[in-house]
Structure 1
Amino acid sequence: MTQPLNILVTGASRGIGAAIAAALAGHKVVGHSTKGEDGLVAADLAEPGAAQGLWETALERLGGRIDVVINNAGIFEAAPIDLDAAAWAAQWDRTMQVNLHAAADLCRLAVLHFKAQGGGRIVNVASRAGYRGDSPDHWHYAASKAGMVAMTKTIARAYAGEGIYAFTICPGFTVTGMVDDYISSRGGAAFLADIPLGRPASAEEVGETARWLAVDAPPSSTGAVIDVNGASFVR
């Protein structure tokens, strides 16, 4: 195994984030959640500026050095077009703040830190929606994830020469609990017909992808986008 790394994972209380933290066993991981349960760092990323406090606390817990940042925290909340204008705009602002602006703030802090220490890695968890779009009620979600993809590619191109590498994961539907119950809730056979693999991805599969990018992926793969969606969307 490589030398243990100091890693910050956002949105680590459940689902994909918890699976990422578990996959990184053997490394020193500081996780984040909105409420800070179970020893996680508390930060409400819907609040502008919250990323700064999260970064400072994580940096302190990790002894002044962070090697990898994994931006997994995100929300998926509907914004139907028949909402009144103020409510529609507010939902766009909230989604962009959590899914993109907070991740951008952490990426900025990470890049500045990595430049000073001679390198580091960023792994951003986006979505296939960033490429193929999403439902009529989720324009804003798809836009936030497309922005995350573009931001990550920009970071990769800008800082590779300084040993700073950036990657994106684009999951499709992901199961974190009972598979049969999840499939039934999504429409059963009709839902599965859109996934050539025949099942949604597991959180553990996404977690392992994040682990590989954070720890083992070769530097030449910086800027890569890894799809984890059972070929439900291919590029």
Structure 2
Amino acid sequence: MPESQPHILVTGATRGIGAAILKSLTERGAKVVGHGTRAAPGILAADLSQAGAGDRLWDAALEVLDGRIDVLINNAGVFEAIAVDAPDADWQASWARTMQINLQGSADLCRRMLLQAQGRDADASGLRGRIVNVASRAAYRGDSPAHWHYAASKAGMVAMTKSIARGYAGQGLIAFAICPGYVMTGMAEDYLASRGGDKLLADIPLGRVAQPDEVASVATYLALDAPASMTGAVLDVNGASFVR
């Protein structure tokens, strides 16, 4: 894996955490391509709710990144409510969409990262690639009654990260996960407003939600600086609202 100007793919990079990650990595000198639902300068379009979209995104990113991706950051995700008493078809569709975007799309990209790593030379430290998966504290403490599927998808992402770390460290592929709590993105603002912001903030000992650049600083560290021995680590960014 090259030690200068790493080539990085960041999904869900058009706003919030993803945009902050893209900015932080670019400032560190990485060659970064982002992903969103619509194409824009530096952004590749892909609808991860569609089967196979992750593979198509990977191939498009390879073209932009000169045939190699050194770091994959899976940040794309949806946080959409579905009531337990919703019609059966709506319930099933909501679960399928959330799992496809939050977990299956990320898994498809992780698989492509692994297959690439197995076919390339290692760098001086023995590494062939890095994966950073942005999960959620919901993976550990659960979420609201309308968001079982979100919590389940993020728990799956954490388990996937640990499985990759354990299974492929010997082949030079390392993997990390980040578990933010509430982050001041558009989604968080809407949710805080709908759930009663003061009550939710009272559950955060720090007294505020995280800022996107705080999560981005952790992602940047894991993408560029974290030692290989940290593989499998899950880092919390939640203001001590959940400790383990």
| Same-fold status (TM-score > 0.5) | yes
- Residue 123 of structure 1 and its aligned partner are, at CA, apart by 0.2
- Residue 100 of structure 1 and its aligned partner are, at CA, apart by 0.2
When residues 42 and 146 of structure 1 are mapped into structure 2, their CA distance, relative to the original with a 3 A threshold, is same
Which runs of 5 or more residues in structure 1 are unaligned? none
2:157 aligned partner? 148
C-alpha separation in 1, matches of 2:34 and 2:150: 23
- Residue 188 of structure 1 and its aligned partner are, at CA, apart by 3.7
The letter of the residue matching 2:108 is D
2:7 aligned partner? 6
- Residue 176 of structure 1 and its aligned partner are, at CA, apart by 3.5
1:74 aligned partner? 77
C-alpha separation in 2, matches of 1:39 and 1:226: 28
What percent of counterpart residues are identical?
64
The letter of the residue matching 2:34 is G
- Residue 190 of structure 1 and its aligned partner are, at CA, apart by 1.8
C-alpha separation in 2, matches of 1:148 and 1:86: 25
**Does the 8 A contact of 1:13 with 1:37 survive in 2?**
no
1:158 and 2:161 correspond: no
C-alpha separation in 1, matches of 2:12 and 2:198: 31
- Residue 180 of structure 1 and its aligned partner are, at CA, apart by 9.4
**Does the 8 A contact of 1:156 with 1:166 survive in 2?**
yes
When residues 49 and 188 of structure 1 are mapped into structure 2, their CA distance, relative to the original with a 3 A threshold, is closer
C-alpha separation in 2, matches of 1:169 and 1:90: 27
Match of 2:198 among 176, 186, 189: 189
1:227 aligned partner? 236
1:209 aligned partner? 218
The letter of the residue matching 1:211 is T
When residues 105 and 29 of structure 1 are mapped into structure 2, their CA distance, relative to the original with a 3 A threshold, is same
- Residue 38 of structure 1 and its aligned partner are, at CA, apart by 3.3
1:59 and 2:68 correspond: no
1:171 aligned partner? 180
C-alpha separation in 2, matches of 1:102 and 1:232: 28
1:106 aligned partner? 109
SS at match of 1:201: coil
Aligned length: 233
**Does the 8 A contact of 1:175 with 1:182 survive in 2?**
no
Match of 2:208 among 195, 199, 211: 199
C-alpha separation in 1, matches of 2:136 and 2:24: 20
1:23 and 2:24 correspond: yes
The letter of the residue matching 2:162 is K
C-alpha separation in 1, matches of 2:33 and 2:176: 20
Alignment of 1:37-48 (within 5 A): 37-48=40-51
Q: CA RMSD in A?
A: 1.7
- Residue 184 of structure 1 and its aligned partner are, at CA, apart by 5.8
- Residue 181 of structure 1 and its aligned partner are, at CA, apart by 9.5
C-alpha separation in 2, matches of 1:36 and 1:98: 18
1:123 aligned partner? 132
Which runs of 5 or more residues in structure 2 are unaligned? 123-127
**Does the 8 A contact of 1:199 with 1:230 survive in 2?**
yes
- Residue 189 of structure 1 and its aligned partner are, at CA, apart by 2.8
C-alpha separation in 2, matches of 1:56 and 1:137: 35
- Residue 37 of structure 1 and its aligned partner are, at CA, apart by 2.6
When residues 87 and 189 of structure 1 are mapped into structure 2, their CA distance, relative to the original with a 3 A threshold, is closer
C-alpha separation in 2, matches of 1:148 and 1:41: 23
1:33 and 2:36 correspond: yes
The letter of the residue matching 2:25 is L
C-alpha separation in 1, matches of 2:242 and 2:14: 28
The letter of the residue matching 2:66 is G
The letter of the residue matching 2:181 is G
C-alpha separation in 1, matches of 2:210 and 2:192: 12
- Residue 182 of structure 1 and its aligned partner are, at CA, apart by 8.4
C-alpha separation in 2, matches of 1:107 and 1:180: 30
